[in-house]
Amino acid sequence: MLCVALVLTSLIWSAAPTAGSARDGRRQQLTVLPPRGWNSYDSFSWIIDEAAFLDNARIMANRLLPHGYQYAVIDFLWYRRIAAGSGVGAYGFDSMDQWGRPYPDPRRFPSGRGGGGFRPIADKVHAMGLKFGIHLMNGISTQAVNANTPILDARTGKAYVENGRQWRTRDIGLTHRTCAWMPKGFMSVNTYLGAGRAFLRSLYRQYADWGVDFVKLDCIFGTDYSPKEIVTLHSILKELERPVVLSISPGTAVTPALAENITQHVDMYRVTGDDWDSWKDVRPHFDVARSFAAANKIGAPGLRGRSWPDLDMLPFGWLTDAGANQGPHRTTSLTFDEQTTQMVLWSMAKSPLMYEGDLRHLDDRTFNLITHPTLLKINHHTRNNMEFGYIHSERASKPDEQSGRSKSGYPMDVTNNGGTVLGLGTCSDRSASGWYSISKDHICRSYGIQNGNASFCISKAKLLPTS
């Protein structure tokens, strides 16, 4: 039951820090709590357009914003033209400006024609009360490097010049450090060079000018781990007058040790591979969540407040397929029990909650799950969350009159005689009564049996036999 989930995650219910507790004012308060929002990837792959995005944003503002879902994010390849031969691994279909920077595909995002970029869309999103986000690939595109464009010096508004010469994109692209899952498309930038830092500065200043509030940055963590670039981006984002939340991805092959030196430079960071609507994708998240909780990484100091290990997005509702040139056309393959389990785990792990389904087809059952008030409170307002990995039962001939604890217990099987042992509920439910804690690492519920009293217990460590 959700009441049990609450007990498991935090033995002491505690309020989140107040806005006034920030040391550096508004810019440091954006990620005091795990962010929530909607992302286009699992429902639209890379082909979302302006009309579909704004349709989803309007529904999000009306239905999800009251529950804390505030970031509306356009996922990857928003600059790529939809045409014969185009796709995730294609080359030569990207829109970019004279400085080698990606620009929204004018056919899919017509309001950006004439130099406005995403500003018109961001203004509409902000008018709805939402915040606007975009996905980026780390570094620079191969197309921009091959075009060998000049680099904009954002501080002067002119081409970047250093040591008496004008620098170009071929000077800064690291052709030996391409994105692991898109090697023909993108590569890292040499941030040891002033020209490399100037290129990145011009990128993020442009995004801030467009009204971007959230950046999901791919190919910089896990397999593509690039700490120097992460630290450089941290410094560039701190320069901006507009605060931008930084989320890094993908999270393949991530351990708490790998995250040790970067959590303070970001706001959220993926710690798993892509999570699609398959139980085999969801299952490994239990181990990952446990390891990051044990390492005290949940809510560690971050770029704009705190940093949050990100278990990836919620693939519920109406979806597409990974890398498809097709929009939403099918329902999630997860059963509702599997969706519920995933939502409970994400909430207990205090992961950012980013819904992925096409909101134009949001059904009531899915809506009620992703806005469940108890789960959302667990996600935002619990501390010291941990896993209790051992389940056992104790039996005694006489119950402890004060607490119901077994005085001299021994292991026994718990039999479910047609009733619910654990189910979905809240702490106010009658079925939630009877739970008590022996210690912070050992929690039980007493119940009567024919010849005495028994306790159903959960604990962090395996208990030793009692005499």
Give the Cα separation of 451 and 395 in Å (integer): 9
Cα dist from 60 to 10, 82, 277, 367, whole Å: 30, 26, 21, 11
- Per-residue pLDDT averaged across 398-424, rounded? 40
In the chain, what are the domains? 27-381 (3.20.20.70), 390-459 (no CATH)
Q: Which long-range contacts (CB under 8 A, 24 or more apart) does 173-179 make?
A: 173/139, 173/140, 173/142, 173/144, 173/145, 174/139, 175/145, 177/139, 177/226, 178/142, 179/137, 179/138, 179/139, 179/218, 179/219, 179/224
377 burial class (0-12, 13-18, 19+ CB within 10 angstroms)?
A: middle
Q: What is the mean pLDDT of the chain?
A: 86
Q: What is the dihedral of CA 367, 372, 375, 380, to 10 degrees?
A: 90
Question: Residue 444: which pLDDT band, with cuts at 50, 70 and 90?
Answer: confident
Question: Residue 459: which pLDDT band, with cuts at 50, 70 and 90?
Answer: confident
Q: Which residues pair with 224 in a beta bridge?
A: none
Q: Which helix (H) or strand (E) holds 169?
A: helix 169-172
Question: Residue 389: which pLDDT band, with cuts at 50, 70 and 90?
Answer: confident
pLDDT exceeds cutoff 80 at 433: no
Q: Is residue 361 a contact partner of residue 55, using CB atoms and an 8 Å limit?
A: no
287 burial class (0-12, 13-18, 19+ CB within 10 angstroms)?
A: exposed
Question: Residue 175: which pLDDT band, with cuts at 50, 70 and 90?
Answer: very high
- Coil, helix or strand at residue 387: coil
β pairing state of 442-449 and 435-439: antiparallel
Residues with Cβ < 8 Å from 216, sequence gap 6 or more?
A: 39, 73, 75, 133, 134, 135, 136, 247, 248, 249
Which has the minimum average pLDDT: 239-253, 403-417, 441-455?
A: 403-417
The amino acid at residue 426 is T
Secondary structure of 316-339 in the HEC alphabet? Answer: CCEECCCCCCCCCCEECCCCHHHH
Q: What is the DSSP letter of 429?
A: S
Question: Residue 411: left if φ>0, alpha if ψ -120 to 50, beta else—which one?
Answer: beta
pLDDT exceeds cutoff 50 at 23: no
Question: Residue 288: which pLDDT band, with cuts at 50, 70 and 90?
Answer: very high
Residues with Cβ < 8 Å from 148, sequence gap 6 or more?
A: 168, 169, 170
Q: What is the DSSP letter of 463?
A: P
Question: Which pTM was predicted?
Answer: 0.85
- Per-residue pLDDT averaged across 21-39, rounded? 72
Question: Residue 321: which pLDDT band, with cuts at 50, 70 and 90?
Answer: very high
Question: Residue 4: left if φ>0, alpha if ψ -120 to 50, beta else—which one?
Answer: alpha
Give the Cα separation of 217 and 75 in Å (integer): 10
Cα dist from 404 to 10, 207, 432, 437, whole Å: 22, 60, 15, 11
